[in-house]
Amino acid sequence: MPYIYLTGGKVTLMKQYRLFSAFLVTAMFLGLLTSCAAPASTSKKFVFASDAAFPPMEFVDSNKAIVGFDIDMIQAIAKDQKIEVEIKNTAWDGIFAGLGGGAYDAILSSVTITEDRKKTYDFSEPYFDANQAIVVRIDDATIMTEQDLAGKPVGAQIGTTGAIYLGDNLKEATLKQYDSADLAMMDLVNKQVDAVVIDTPVAANFALQSDQFKGKLKIIGEIVTSEQYALTVQKGDPKQILAIFNAGLKNIKASGEYAKIYEKWIGVKK
């Protein structure tokens, strides 16, 4: 190496040794620095199940992509927390069983926290408030209130809080349960049921916005069930997801990102 000759003329063996050890120390130090700078391991990856047939919360768009409020929210949280999340489109009926069986790490599917579900699952901090809405055909003049559902066939998605409410509180109505929200709406339009009870954001989307049902349905009222949606995990949170989700949710609320996502999908300011 030429610069050795510039500093000292003749290079002794001792000098060479010192230079070499200085070089070694420097190399080790640099090595230490780079290993600190690089991520200790590749970022954590989680798989979440979602019944992507619940617009505007989670649904499949015309490009066959899973989109919606929950999806944008979890992407913002994943970015904030430097984790990776994969969404697995999963039928609602059986979505809880799949979590118990370990088919995925959590459910992100507008799941309402209920006392009953709390016995079997753990929930994150709530991320969305909703009630139940009563949807009827646009030309219906017989159903004005919840009480008017008595004696009528009423639809709901199977095992949802809407179906549970009807079963518990409106025993005089004939409950008809459907695998998905849109099948219930379809049967409503086709006069197989006279009303559908479903989460407020989804009722508004189907009745007022969807190409399929717009102009055919109306919302006659809300049943105030004061529901809160949360990420759902196995009891004990074995994959340690809740702390990450909660921290990310807090951050995206503080940054204004949550409010943006709310306005984008719900159409009003939170």
> Binding residues for ligand ARG, per CB under 6 A?
51, 54, 58, 92, 109-112, 157, 160-161, 199
d(CA 65, CA 261): 17
Identify which of residues 51 and 257 has a Cβ nearer to ligand ARG in the complex.
51
Q: Taking the complex as a whole, how short is the minimal distance between the CB of residue 36 and ligand ARG, in angstroms?
A: 43
Q: Taking the complex as a whole, how short is the minimal distance between the CB of residue 181 and ligand ARG, in angstroms?
A: 6
Q: Taking the complex as a whole, how short is the minimal distance between the CB of residue 216 and ligand ARG, in angstroms?
A: 21
Angle (nearest 5°) at CA 67 between 66 and 72: 130
Identify which of residues 75 and 131 has a Cβ nearer to ligand ARG in the complex.
131
Identify which of residues 203 and 217 has a Cβ nearer to ligand ARG in the complex.
203
Taking the CA atoms of residue 255, residue 261, residue 262 and residue 264 in that order, the dihedral angle to the nearest 10 degrees is 140
**Contact yes or no for 170/150 (Cβ under 8 A):** yes
d(CA 52, CA 65): 10
Q: Taking the complex as a whole, how short is the minimal distance between the CB of residue 264 and ligand ARG, in angstroms?
A: 18
Q: How far apart are the first and last CA of the chain?
A: 67
Paired tokens of 205: 């989307």
Paired tokens of 178: 């459907």
State how far Cα 165 lies from the chain centre. 23
Nearest to 26 by CA among 38, 15, 34: 34
Identify which of residues 109 and 124 has a Cβ nearer to ligand ARG in the complex.
109
Identify which of residues 81 and 232 has a Cβ nearer to ligand ARG in the complex.
232
Identify which of residues 148 and 170 has a Cβ nearer to ligand ARG in the complex.
170
Q: Taking the complex as a whole, how short is the minimal distance between the CB of residue 117 and ligand ARG, in angstroms?
A: 8
Identify which of residues 160 and 210 has a Cβ nearer to ligand ARG in the complex.
160
**Contact yes or no for 200/132 (Cβ under 8 A):** yes
Sequence-distant (6+) residues with CB within 8 A of 41 are none
Q: Taking the complex as a whole, how short is the minimal distance between the CB of residue 54 and ligand ARG, in angstroms?
A: 3
Q: Taking the complex as a whole, how short is the minimal distance between the CB of residue 138 and ligand ARG, in angstroms?
A: 24
- CA distances to 17, 73, 85, 141 from 47, rounded to whole Å, are 55, 15, 6, 46
d(CA 203, CA 196): 9
Count of beta carbons in the 10 Å neighbourhood of residue 5: 10
Which residue sits closest to ligand ARG, CB atoms considered? 54
Identify which of residues 46 and 148 has a Cβ nearer to ligand ARG in the complex.
46
